[in-house]
Amino acid sequence: MFRDDFVWGVAASAYQVEGRDPDDGAGEMIWDRFIEEGHTPDKYDARVTCDHMHRYKEDYALMRMLSVKAYRFSISWARLIPDGTGEVNPKAVKLYRDMILSMKENGIEPYLTLYHWELPQALQDRGGWLNDDMPEWFGYYAQKAAECFSDICENFITLNEPQCFVGIGHLSGWQAPGLKLSYEEVFRIAHNALKAHGTAVKRLREYAVRPIKIGYAPTCGMAYPYSTDPEDIEAAKRVLFGFYNPIDNWTWNVAWFSDPVILGRYPEEGLRKYAQYLPEISDDDMELIHQPLDFMGQNIYNGYMVRMGRDGEPEFVKRPMGSPKTAAGWPVTPDCLYWGVKLLYERYHLPFYITENGMSCHDDVSLDGHVHDPNRINFLDLYISALQRAADEGVDIRGYFLWTFLDNFEWDKGYTERFGIIHVDFETQKRTVKDSAYWYKKVIDTNGKNLSINQKPRQVLFLEPHFKEVIWGGSRLKSDWGYDIPSDKTGECWAVSAHSKGVSIIKDGYYKGKALDELFRECPELFGNTDGKYNDFPLLVKIIDAKDDLSIQVHPDDRYAKLNENGAMGKMECWYILKAEEGSTIVYGHNASSKEELKDMILNERWSDLIRTVPVKEGDAVLIKPGTVHAIKGGIMLTEIQQNSDITYRLYDYDRLTDGKKRELHIDKSIDVITAPFDCEGGISDYFETADDSMAEFVDCERFTAWKINVKNGFSFEMDKDFMTMTVIDGNGIVNGSAVKKGDSFILPCGIGKVTLEGQMTLIASSPKG
C-alpha cells in the first residue's frame, strides 16, 4: 500500500490552461509565435483555452470536491517577466499569489514548476537556449519566483521534460520554437538547460524566505524487461540508461539529462559516443549542475520491452499484434511504470514522484449528460497499481500527479487530444466531471485501496488446457473439439487444472500468464477461500477420449489418501457422457458380495466374475464415489469432474504392455479401499432434458455440484458460489461479453456477480463444496 502521507495530485501547465487577457501585462512567448505560424492541426490558439486565469477559483473548488490533494502547475516566465530579464509584472504576481492561496484554501498543496516550455519570445530573439547567458537569465527568473512565492509555496520544480523542449523544439522542430539545428547546437542547448537548472536551484534556496523543497521533472520512454529473467532485466537497464537511439533522436535519453543533475557527471558512454558534438564541459559546469535536490520527478507515459539477445546484446521486442493504444496513438504499457520507477530509484536514490501520467481518450458528452471514459479508468488503474507494486517492494515513492485535470490545449496537437478527467466545452467553458474523476476520487479517498492490485478484478478466467498422452488415447480431441493435441494417443484434456502434473494457464485478461495453482494461492478471494477451507484448488475438470478400454481402477477416499499418499486428497468424480456408440458399456462396481469374496476374486484373477458392466448412452451422468470399481470403455468420450487428485489404484489392465512392460498394478491398496458389497443405488442418472436457457443439476455430492446448462437465446444469473468451472461442450456463444466456442473452459470467480450467457451452446458447470 502507499504511505499514509502519499501525495495524490493532478498536473497542468500555464500555457495549456490559463488563456490570456488583453490587460494581463504578459509578454509574448515562443508558443504564441509558433502557433501564429500555423503549426497546429486545427489552427486554433491558446488565447482562451480553459480560461483558467479567470476561473481558477471554481476549478480549485472542483478539485477539492474531487478530493485532489496537490496541484503541480507552472507559472509562465513570459507572464511574470515579459521580456525575460527585466521588470516583474505585478499583475502576474497578484494572479499567481491568489492562485496559490486559493489552492491552499481548498486544501490543495501547490507544486510550482518554473519552466513548462513558456520561454519569453524576447529571449528566443536573443538566441534562446542556445545563448550561453541562458543559465543566468533563468537564475534571475528563479530568484524572482522565490521572492514572490516562497512564503506561500514550499515545493518547486525547475524544468519539465528537458528531453522535449531541447529535442522536439530544436532538433526535430515539431514544437516551439520549431527549429532544426545542428547536433553541436542541440548539445549546447542541453548543456545550457542543465546549467540553468543548477543555477535555479541555487537561486531558489538563496532567495526563498523559508526552507523549501526542490525537484526536477525529466521524462522518457521506459525500457522494461521482456521477462523477469536476470539477463532481460540487465538488458533493460543497459538500454534505459544507455545510448541506443540514433543520433537524430539522441535527446530521448534518460542518463544524459539525469546523471549530471543527480550523480554529478555525464555518462561515460555518451561522452565517448558524442565527443565530436559536445561543447566544452568544465568542472565548474558540473558543480553547478549537480545541486542537492529534495526529490526526483519523472513523467512516464509508456515504454518498450527489451530482452537479452543470444549475442549478449539487448534486443527490442515487438509488441503483440493489436496491443492497446491511447487516442494519441501511444502504447498502453503499465509495466513501464513499475520497472521504470524501480530502475530509476535503484540508480538515483532520491525520494520519487510521478510528476505526470495519464492518457488521451476520445471523450464526448453522452446523451445522458455524462462523460464515460472507461478506457482511462482502466489505464489509470493498471498504471497506478504498477506504481504501488514498486512501492510495496521498497521504492520511496512520495506522490503521483495525474495528467491532467482539465482538457486543454495540447501543444502542437491543438485541441485534438483530451487528457483531462474534467471535460471542457471550449466554446462555452462548461466543465463536466468524467467518470474517471469520480474513480480517481475514490483512489484518493482510500489511498489506493480500491485499485485492482488490492481488490483483484473479478473477471471470467479463461484457461489454456493441458493434454495427456496415454496408451488408450485417440485423436478425437482434435477432430471433434479442435484442440492442438500432441499426438493421436491423446486421451485427456485437463481443461481446468491446478494439479502439479498439468496446470492450466490463464490465457488473457488481468491475470494473463498466471498458473491456476499460483493464482489460487495468491488470490484466495477469487475462489471463496479467504478462510482457508480449501488447502488446495479443489476441482479437476477433464475431457476424456477413450479410443480403447481404460484400466479397471478404484480411488481412495480423503481419509485413506491422507494416511497413505503423503496427505493428498482422495478422489470422488462424476462423468457426463458426451459420445457413446450404440451398445457402449462402462465398468461400474463389482459383483462380490463381501470383502472376503472380493479379495478371492482379485487374487485368483476371476475378472469375469468380479467385473460389473452397465450400458450408457450420450447424456448419461455417472457418480463415481471413492471405493467404486470403474473403467471407461473404448469408444466413449466424456467430461469428468473430480476432486483435484491424480491418485488411481489400478486393479486390472488387460495385461497390456507399455514400452514392453506391463503397467504397474496396485492390488493391495485396491483391496483396502474397494467398497464391498457394492451399492449401485443412485449412481447413474439416465439422459435428461434440460429446458432452454436454464441450468439443470445432475450431480450433488459431498465434494461438488455439477450442472448441465442449455443456452438457446440467453439468460443471466447471480453467481453466488465460491467459484464455478464451465466447459462449452457444444455450440458457441457469449459469456459476459466474451465469445466462446466448443472446447473453451473458464472459471467464474467468487464475487463476479451477474453472469450473462448468450448464444446457442451447451455447457457443463461445477462448483466445489468446502
Half-sphere exposure of 723 (CA within 13 A, CB side): 25
600: exposed, middle or buried (Cβ count in 10 Å: 0-12, 13-18, 19+): middle
> What nine digits make up the cell of 560?
485413506
Query: What is d(CA 120, CA 135) in angstroms, rounded to the nearest whole number?
Result: 14
Please check whether residue 289 is in contact with residue 198, taking contact to mean a CB–CB distance below 8 angstroms: yes
Q: Which residue has the cell 476561473?
A: 55
Q: Residue 280 catalytic?
A: no
Query: What is d(CA 199, CA 137) in angstroms, rounded to the nearest whole number?
Result: 9
What is the chain's length? Answer: 770
Q: Cis ω on the peptide bond leading into residue 446 (within 30° of 0)?
A: no
Q: Residue 469 catalytic?
A: no
Query: What is d(CA 331, CA 323) in angstroms, rounded to the nearest whole number?
Result: 7
* Concatenated DSSP letters of 35-67: HHTT-STT---SSSTT-HHHHHHHHHHHHHHTT
Query: What is d(CA 498, CA 555) in angstroms, rounded to the nearest whole number?
Result: 19
Please check whether residue 151 is in contact with residue 114, taking contact to mean a CB–CB distance below 8 angstroms: no
| CA-based nearest residue to 223, from 315, 355, 356, 345 | 315
What are residue 450's phi and psi, to 5 degrees? -85, 0
Partnered with residue 542 across adjacent β-strands are 494, 640
H-helix or E-strand containing 338? helix 335-348
Q: Cis ω on the peptide bond leading into residue 749 (within 30° of 0)?
A: no
* Residue 15, SS3 per DSSP: helix
What are residue 262's phi and psi, to 5 degrees? -105, -35
* Concatenated DSSP letters of 687-727: -----TTEEEEEEE-SSEEEEEEEESSEEEEEE-SS-EEEE
Query: What is d(CA 692, CA 284) in angstroms, rounded to the nearest whole number?
Result: 83
Please check whether residue 555 is in contact with residue 673, taking contact to mean a CB–CB distance below 8 angstroms: yes
Instruction: From the candidates 18, 118, 154, 356, give the one annotated as an active-site residue.
Output: 356
Residues in CB range of 703: below 8 A, 6 or more apart: 538, 572, 643, 768, 769
> What nine digits make up the cell of 407?
482538457
What is the separation of C-alpha 587 from the centre of its chain, rounded to a whole number of angstroms?
49
Instruction: From the candidates 18, 161, 410, 758, give the one annotated as an active-site residue.
Output: 161
Q: Which residue has the cell 555518462?
A: 267
Maximal C-alpha separation, the chain:
111
Across the beta sheet with 109-115, what order do the strands follow?
213-217, 155-160, 109-115, 70-74, 7-11, 397-403, 352-356, 296-299
**Catalytic center residues:** 161, 356
